[in-house]
Amino acid sequence: MPPRSLALFLLALVAGVRASAAADPARYMTAELLVESPAPKPGSTVLVGFRMTPRPGWHGYWSNPGDSGIAPSVVWEALDGVRFGPLMHPAPTLLTADGISSFVHAGPHVLLSRMTIPRSLAKGTPIPLKAKLSWAACTATQCVPLHATFAVDLVAGSGVEGPDALALKAAARKLPRSAAPGTFSADGKSLRLLVPASLRLDVRRTRFFPDDSESFAAGSQRATKAAGGIQISGSSASVPHASISGVVSDGRNAYRLAFRQETPAEAQKQPTSAPAAHAAPRHPSGKRDAVAVAPKVEEARPSVLAGQREWPWVVAPAALIVVAAGLLLMRRRRSQRPST
C-alpha cells in the first residue's frame, strides 16, 4: 500500500469524508451487484451475485476463512416470498503467512446466490431488491472491513436475460461441482480422507478446504496417491466429527463433497497407503496439459505475499497535529459501528 500523503489526510478530516468507520472499497476491493434477469419470471430461480475486484495485493475470504480472516456476509431485502440461497464461492486458494493458513480469493471473483421468485407474483409487479454486503479485504499486513448497500428495481416478467447474465453463468460454471461422498479414517486426531479416483484430480496440486476448521485443521495437509483415489492426510482440531465436508480442488477442477467415516470392513478393503509406495503419481486423466496448466493457487501467492515485507505507510509525526484540526468536527458526529 502506498504511503498516504499528508495533504490527503488533512483534506479527508476537514471535508468530513470519513463520516463513519466505513472505508472506501475503491481503495481495497470493490463489489458490484449482478442480476441474471431484470425481469425474472414468477416461479423461477435466477442467479444474483457480486463481482468482487480486489486491488493488486489484496484478497478476500472464502466461506470458511481458515485460521484467520472474515467470510463475506449479505443481508437481502425484497418482497415477501422472494427467497435467497446462501452465498456460493468458487474454490479458494491457500495463503500461509506466519504459520496462519487462510482460505482466500486472491483475484477477481464472483460470489453467487440463487433468488427464487414466488409463483403467485403477477407479471409487471415491481420487485425492489436491496442487498447489504459486508466483506473484508486484507494483505499480509493490513485488514479492512468493507460494507456496501446495493439497490436495483426488478419487475416480474418473462425472465429475459440482462447484461450480467453471461458473467453470472460463467461464475456458476466455476463453482465446485457436487460429487459423491468420500470416506475418511481417523486415528486420534489424525485424519485420512480418501478422494474418489473418479474425480480425476491432479494429486500434486490437490488440496482439501474444509467447511469447518474444527473438523479438519486448516494448516498442514498432504495429498498422496492411494488405492481408490487420492489420500489427504491432516488432523482435526478436536475429536473427529462424524462427517467432514468441504471442497477438494487441484486449482483447475474443484468438487464439493462430504466424507463419512469408513466402516471397519471398508478399512480392511482399502488399506491406506504409505506415501513412498506411490512415489510417482501420474495424472489420472492422462491429459498432457495437466502439468502445463499451473493452478491459480501458485500464481496468486507471490503477489499476495509481496507486500509482506513492505513497511506499512507511515504518516509523519506532524500528522498528529493535523488530527487536531478535524477533532471538533469528528466529536460532534459520534460514529456508528459497522454492522454485519
Partner 1 sequence: MNRSMLAFATGALALAAAAPAVAERVPAPSPDASLEETRRFFTEDPDAPMIAPVGYDVTIVEYLDYQCPACRASHEPLKQLLSKDKKVRVIFRDWPVFGAASSKAALIAVASKYQGKYLAVHDALLTTPKPLTDAKIQAAVKKAGADWARIQKDIAAHSEEIEDLLARNDEQAQMLGLDGTPGFIIGSTQSFGGMTLAQFEESVRKARTEVAPKPKGSGKR
The residue ranges that bind partner 1 (CB under 8 A) are 1, 4, 9, 12-13, 18, 20-21, 23-24, 27-28, 64-71, 73, 97-98, 100, 102, 134, 136-145, 213-214, 217-218, 237, 309, 311-321, 323-328, 330-331, 334-335, 337-340
Between 161 and 211, CB nearer to partner 1? 211
Count the alpha carbons within 13 Å of 266 in the hemisphere toward its beta carbon.
11
**Burial class of residue 41 in the structure, from the number of CB atoms within 10 Å of its CB (0-12 exposed, 13-18 middle, 19+ buried):** middle
Between 12 and 155, CB nearer to partner 1? 12
Between 32 and 212, CB nearer to partner 1? 212
Three-state SS at 133: strand
Between 2 and 271, CB nearer to partner 1? 2
CB of 337 to partner 1, least distance (A): 6
CB of 163 to partner 1, least distance (A): 31
Between 168 and 244, CB nearer to partner 1? 244
Separation between Cα atoms, residue 226 and residue 221, nearest integer Å: 15
The DSSP symbol for 251 reads S
CB of 21 to partner 1, least distance (A): 6
Separation between Cα atoms, residue 118 and residue 209, nearest integer Å: 35
CB of 16 to partner 1, least distance (A): 11
CB of 307 to partner 1, least distance (A): 9
Separation between Cα atoms, residue 145 and residue 308, nearest integer Å: 19
Separation between Cα atoms, residue 92 and residue 108, nearest integer Å: 12
Residue 246: how many other CB atoms lie within 10 Å: 26
